[in-house]
């Protein structure tokens, strides 16, 4: 299984390199280190959210409310900034709020065993609706934000913006959590075989709720980064972004049936979409192609991942068990 996962990531890495080579053959400027760093920075929110989503999907759930959570926390951060709250407090507040919104999803899934797709489809509209209730549909524009608030994600530190460093730090933290902590083990155990996880003394619902809290907290943090970077907050920011996040995970080989996936895969899935998105205007293709391309990438990736993801355990009646 490990070898298979490794090879899947190798294939994805190869696909990314081929993609870069094809673009570079006509537009060598695209692969300059400076431009690649820009692509990385531009993809940072997607990388952060894809990692949170990976934690959720690995436990057999899905979080469609991440983009709405991001938008709500982003709006709150802009409002707090308007009220003169210092930046460190704003950061704490959005992470806590994001975690709380994630906890709402998690508790509904855990305590009431409502399927996560239903819960997050519902909270997706509720969270976005709350932004409207808070603001009456008004925008918060650049001139209403303090300089420090807008400058922090862009501040350059050792050659890269702070936002990119945050994303890299989260990648490192995730790699540690997944491979070195009981929580990381539990996430995979719950998704791989819930019944076995129960016998191993792991709370299935509790672990799923923890994954939602992680995903929510990351969405909250990204909400601030997003609003500060683009210097605008309104109801519809990051609309539909949850699809890109799920797409990044699926492309990265995170199995939607749970139990399989890797940090490297999710990061590369996000990078793949980020490179495509940044390359389209360079190549001269309308950005309106973006949506269809990510849709096709999802379909190709799941069709590809489905190979070798047969049911675990001993199969007695091959034909009958085949789909069950």
Residues that bind another protein (CB under 8 A): 60, 62, 108, 112-115, 117-119, 121-126, 128-130, 132-133, 137, 194-195, 198, 204-205, 235, 243, 246-247, 250, 256-257, 286, 288-296, 298-299, 302-303, 306, 320-324
Q: Are 12 and 269 in contact (CB under 8 A)?
A: yes
Closer to another protein by Cβ: residue 115 or 159: 115
Q: Which is nearer to another protein, 170 or 213 (CB)?
A: 213
CA distance linking residue 161 with residue 151, whole number of Å: 10
Compute the least distance from the CB of residue 211 to another protein, in Å.
13
Q: How far is the CB of 81 from another protein (least distance, A)?
A: 24
Q: Please identify, using beta-carbon distances, which residue of 171 and 254 lies nearer to another protein.
A: 254
Q: Give the pair of three-digit tokens for residue 304.
A: 């590809």
For 253, phi and psi rounded to 5 degrees?
A: 85, 15
CB of 283 to another protein, least distance (A): 15
Tell me which residue of 254, 201, 303 sits closest to 58, measured CA to CA: 254
Please name which of 87, 48, 35, 98 lies closest in space to residue 244, comparing C-alpha atoms: 48
Q: What 3-state class would DSSP assign to 260?
A: coil
68 versus 263: smaller Cβ distance to another protein: 68
Q: How far is the CB of 301 from another protein (least distance, A)?
A: 8
Minimum CB separation from another protein for residue 122, in Å? 4
Phi, psi of 237 (to 5 degrees): -65, 145
User: Based on CB atoms, which residue is closest to another protein, 85 or 100?
Assistant: 100
Give the Cα separation of 102 and 124 in Å (integer): 11
d(CA 304, CA 300): 6
């Amino acid at each position: 299984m490990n070898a298979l996962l490794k090879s899947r990531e190798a294939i994805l890495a190869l696909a990314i390199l081929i993609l870069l080579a094809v673009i570079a053959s006509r537009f060598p400027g695209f692969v300059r280190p400076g431009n690649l760093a820009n692509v990385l920075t531009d993809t940072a929110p997607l990388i952060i959210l894809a990692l949170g989503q990976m934690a959720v999907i690995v436990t057999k759930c899905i979080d469609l409310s991440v983009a709405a959570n991001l938008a709500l926390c982003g709006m709150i951060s802009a409002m707090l900034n308007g009220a003169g709250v210092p930046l460190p407090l704003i950061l704490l507040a959005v992470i806590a709020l994001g975690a709380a919104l994630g906890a709402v999803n998690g508790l509904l899934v855990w305590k009431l065993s409502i399927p996560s797709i239903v819960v997050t489809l519902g909270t997706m509209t509720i969270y976005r609706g709350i932004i409207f209730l808070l603001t009456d549909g008004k925008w918060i524009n650049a001139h209403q934000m303090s300089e420090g608030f807008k400058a922090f994600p862009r501040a350059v530190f050792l050659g890269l913006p702070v936002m990119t460093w945050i994303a890299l730090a989260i990648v490192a933290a995730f790699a540690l959590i997944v491979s070195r902590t009981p929580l990381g083990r539990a996430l995979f155990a719950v998704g791989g075989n819930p019944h076995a996880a129960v016998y191993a003394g792991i709370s299935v619902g509790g672990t799923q709720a923890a994954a939602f809290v992680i995903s929510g907290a990351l969405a909250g943090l990204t909400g601030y980064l997003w609003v500060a970077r683009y210097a605008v907050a309104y109801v519809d920011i990051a609309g539909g972004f949850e699809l890109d996040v799920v797409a990044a995970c699926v492309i990265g080989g995170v199995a939607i049936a749970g139990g399989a996936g890797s940090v490297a895969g999710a990061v590369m899935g996000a990078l793949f979409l980020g490179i495509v998105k940044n390359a389209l205007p360079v190549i001269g293709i309308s950005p309106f192609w973006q949506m269809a391309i990510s849709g096709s990438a999802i379909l190709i990736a799941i069709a590809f991942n489905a190979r070798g993801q047969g049911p675990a355990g001993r199969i007695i009646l091959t034909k009958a068990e085949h789909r069950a």
